[in-house]
Amino acid sequence: MSVPHFLLALLAEGPKYGLQLREEFEAGTGEVWPLNVGQVYKTLSRLERDGLAESDGAGSDGRDKTGQKRFRITPRGDEALAAWLRMPPDLTSPPRDELVMKVLVAARVPGTDVHEVIQAHRQYLVELMQQWTRLKEGEARDDLGLALVVDAELFRLDAVTRWLDAADTRLRRAAAEPARPAPAAGSAPAPQLRRLGVRR
């Protein structure tokens, strides 16, 4: 979650005060990700330092008559925002997912039914999805920001349940098939691709 870029997007609509930015950030993300005031001002001072935002007040330090600072985006900030929006997030290397590890381990521990472990996780995920769906049925009907956040969460959880379904089926098939012989010593090394990309 990139707070600096979300704040830049809010400033692209026009100059705003810190407290106003905090309120609009929370409203724009369906109030699912609360943001504290200190974090807003810390981020704004970093944006100012990097020349992406500036304060435009009456006083020399950018404060107006009420003593509050108003911020606006700079041309460099506009460019940085446009570039960030089009920059793909880093999804190239698979994270070392805890759930994947649990299933891999469950498949090896003697006396453990890996399918029962998978079902326990599947059930937990569906229960979580039921709660998000209640939110979609209710508050998110009239709140576009919240509806988008809820959809994102549901698709993410759905992807995990699909992976569990696939793992369940693969493990059943593997158990039903005769074991393949291990590769002979000195045979071709594992493809380089298998060694790539796992985040430490």
Partner 1 sequence: MSVLELRGVSKTYGEAPAKVHALDGVDLSVQAGEMVAVMGPSGSGKSTLLTIAGSLEEPTSGDVLVCGMAVAGMPRARRARLRRRVIGFVFQDFNLLPGLTAAENAALPLELDGVAVPKARAAGLAALDALGVAHRAGWFPDQLSGGERQRVAIARAVVGDRRLLLADEPSGALDSVNADEVMRLLHEACARGVAAVVVTHDAQLAAWADRVVFLRDGRVTGRTARPPGPESLLTPREIR
Supply the minimum distance, in Å, between the C-beta of residue 149 and partner 1.
Answer: 10
Residue 2 corresponds to which tokens in the numbers above? 């990139």
In the beta sheet, which residues pair with residue 63? 69
Supply the minimum distance, in Å, between the C-beta of residue 82 and partner 1.
Answer: 23
Judged by beta carbon, residue 83 or residue 152, the one nearer partner 1 is 152
Q: How many CB atoms lie within 10 A of CB 72?
A: 14
In the beta sheet, which residues pair with residue 133? none
Supply the minimum distance, in Å, between the C-beta of residue 128 and partner 1.
Answer: 8
Judged by beta carbon, residue 11 or residue 146, the one nearer partner 1 is 146
Judged by beta carbon, residue 66 or residue 130, the one nearer partner 1 is 130
Supply the minimum distance, in Å, between the C-beta of residue 19 and partner 1.
Answer: 17
Judged by beta carbon, residue 62 or residue 125, the one nearer partner 1 is 125
Supply the minimum distance, in Å, between the C-beta of residue 135 and partner 1.
Answer: 4
Chain positions contacting partner 1, by CB under 8 A = 1, 3, 31-36, 115, 119-120, 122-123, 125-127, 129-139, 151, 154-155, 157-158, 161-162, 165, 168-169
Judged by beta carbon, residue 126 or residue 196, the one nearer partner 1 is 126
d(CA 161, CA 73): 41
